[in-house]
Structure 1
């Protein structure tokens, strides 16, 4: 029953109540039993960045499936459309040896996110370095010919479809550089407010927490201001900037508003904020930075988005820890 599945999924994914029927059916089939099993083991369903442990488990799952089926590469397995002569055989083997179940073994995340992560890791077209000027011009020509059919263009350019979509967003206009004008900033604010309002109306929730709400509820409400926003849609409404610029600028605007214009990380108070951040992270006793609940760490620095705290941690690590790439988080 669809309603029963939706209610059961809400225990693990609160936004399940607003998900489409197709998504609920897919997750009920691929994820619900896994989520329940992880719950018995005391393991919570995770979102956000994959930890090193999860990446290693995913690589192990892929390697074992290749060994089991005889498919000779992860690229063939995950991008069978690039090999039309083998595609039918690959699809048959995936069904016969339960690819969905094998791929997600030991990883407490929705199957769809695991699959997307695998495609990112094992796509050789993701590791081709910077775009040359010739490639940029080629991308513009292909987009003019085929529109936003990134899958088709990706085959022609031997780049991943995600890579070329993002690159086109960056290069499609010559005016998306330099300081933001007041008009651009206001367009950005209006665009973000519009998408947040639509989301809240859809969820039948209020934008601000009432005074009776717990601090956890307040945190969830604030996360809606910057997490999982549709940046491609916002980019379109702004018109003169690509999505990454919009995201970075919005976080700057939001941080300023949350702190009433006060500049953080300056002088003596800034030094104390760094010390507080280091202490808080040490107290967590986690082994991987991806296991940190950054939303709960925010108050060590101030009233800021979690992404701001993550950026400050990264800057501290790079500037103060010798050979940090070779060290573990713990």
Structure 2
């Protein structure tokens, strides 16, 4: 089955490396909770000691050098994170390299999910632990908690569940916590639950693990529901948008290319590794996810000089043709394996998120019963049934002289191009983007 079922799902796939700072969990043991997400990016996170402030052992410095071959920005992580990756990941990464496998990021594909399930069931059989829920959420089982943790340490839990999955141990662990959390699927919140959620969040702050233990709801569902309750849901005001742009601008200034000329940033820096929790604190009135969505809406206008690829007309038709061809050329069997960065480069001055959104709209508008089709079946239908019609219409436009040529993709952007022209007309233009 094609796993993308809603526009919201599509929008959430584009930035897997958001800087989301979670609480440390009820038991305070970061190895037992997926609360401090380790990602293979340069994203800065809160309350993390800089590598220069603490000293690694001699052996760890050599291991750090080896780890840097796989994660170039490893030195931006905390000492604690580095030591865990040396312990749990370095040997695995070397073995994957010997097998010719590249490290993956982003969504897990079907094969990875099945391997993770198999690894978990093997570990349960080995240890006698009763369920995946006990394995990933031992704090919910107070009487067995100490024994579960002892068995996990003795049988090298983090290494075993990651066998055959070319990702960091923490990415695998986070995925396992979501897959084996039955409290993720409890339906709508009742009025009583919403009232309780507001009281508990006031009492405990954003300690979602603790609130989860008290409510029986998963941490992710509680965080999302509270964000929906508390965030401003109306149209963005001019002041909110100004605060958003200023927060993002401040981050990008620090990422600018070295040199004495005008400040420039690479295209990918405009949408990757932005510390959204910091940004939303500056905006004050919006959740981090709302800030991210609004920034991408602003960015699509800025990168395309106010005329996005899929804004209609001949350029939109050419974009659809290019998108279908690019997806078909990848010859992959799972939507999770799509390299959206590569497709965004092929299309032109757009973000990966923008392309994902329009792939979703393309299949919904043109593929009957797409919900019951696999990813391969959807692409085959688009390529064999939809693409010829698009190409025929495009050729008519070309023959009539109405086709407008596209500029070559831009790799570097001046910050002045992105943040100039912040007048009232501009804010009105993007207010409801």
**TM-score by structure 2 length?**
0.69
Are 1:227 and 2:272 matched, yes or no?
yes
Are 1:239 and 2:284 matched, yes or no?
yes
Shift of 1:134: 2.8
Are 1:329 and 2:375 matched, yes or no?
yes
Choose from 260, 267, 274 the match for 2:313.
267
Task: Tell me the distance in 2 between the aligned counterparts of 1:328 and 1:289.
Answer: 9
Runs of 5+ consecutive residues of structure 2 not aligned to the other structure: 1-58, 377-433
Q: Which residue of 1 aligns with 2:257?
A: 206
Task: Tell me the distance in 2 between the aligned counterparts of 1:127 and 1:233.
Answer: 30
CA contact (8 A) 2:300 2:308 kept: no
Task: Tell me the distance in 1 between the aligned counterparts of 2:269 and 2:346.
Answer: 20
Choose from 269, 278, 288 the match for 2:324.
278
Q: Which residue of 2 aligns with 1:179?
A: 235
Q: Which residue of 1 aligns with 2:249?
A: 193
CA contact (8 A) 1:286 1:292 kept: yes
**Between Structure 1 and Structure 2, which shows a larger proportion of helix residues?**
1
Shift of 1:84: 0.9
CA contact (8 A) 2:67 2:86 kept: yes
Which segment drifts farther, 118-127 or 17-26? 17-26
SS of the counterpart of 2:116? helix
Runs of 5+ consecutive residues of structure 1 not aligned to the other structure: 211-217
Q: How many residues align?
A: 314
CA contact (8 A) 1:2 1:21 kept: no
Larger Rg: 2
| Superposed counterparts of 1:1-330, under 5 Å | 1-173=59-231, 176-198=232-254, 200=255, 206=257, 221-265=266-310, 266-330=312-376
Which segment drifts farther, 139-148 or 101-110? 139-148
Q: 1:195 to 1:129 in 2, by over 3 A?
A: farther
Encode CA deviations 1:100-120: one digit per residue, 9 max, x unaligned. Answer: 221001100000010001001
SS of the counterpart of 2:189? coil
Task: Tell me the distance in 2 between the aligned counterparts of 1:197 and 1:148.
Answer: 30
Shift of 1:300: 3.6
Q: 1:170 to 1:195 in 2, by over 3 A?
A: farther
Encode CA deviations 1:225-256: one digit per residue, 9 max, x unaligned. Answer: 21232222222211111122111100011111
Task: Tell me the distance in 1 between the aligned counterparts of 2:244 and 2:102.
Answer: 35
SS of the counterpart of 1:14? coil
Which segment drifts farther, 90-99 or 254-263? 90-99
Q: 1:86 to 1:226 in 2, by over 3 A?
A: same
CA contact (8 A) 1:62 1:74 kept: yes
Q: 1:229 to 1:24 in 2, by over 3 A?
A: same
Task: Tell me the distance in 2 between the aligned counterparts of 1:38 and 1:326.
Answer: 34
Bigger RCO of structures 1 and 2 (CA < 8 A, at least 6 apart): 2
CA contact (8 A) 1:273 1:300 kept: no
SS of the counterpart of 1:68? helix
Task: Tell me the distance in 2 between the aligned counterparts of 1:80 and 1:102.
Answer: 17
Shift of 1:31: 0.5
Task: Tell me the distance in 1 between the aligned counterparts of 2:94 and 2:356.
Answer: 31
**TM-score by structure 1 length?**
0.89
CA contact (8 A) 2:208 2:219 kept: yes
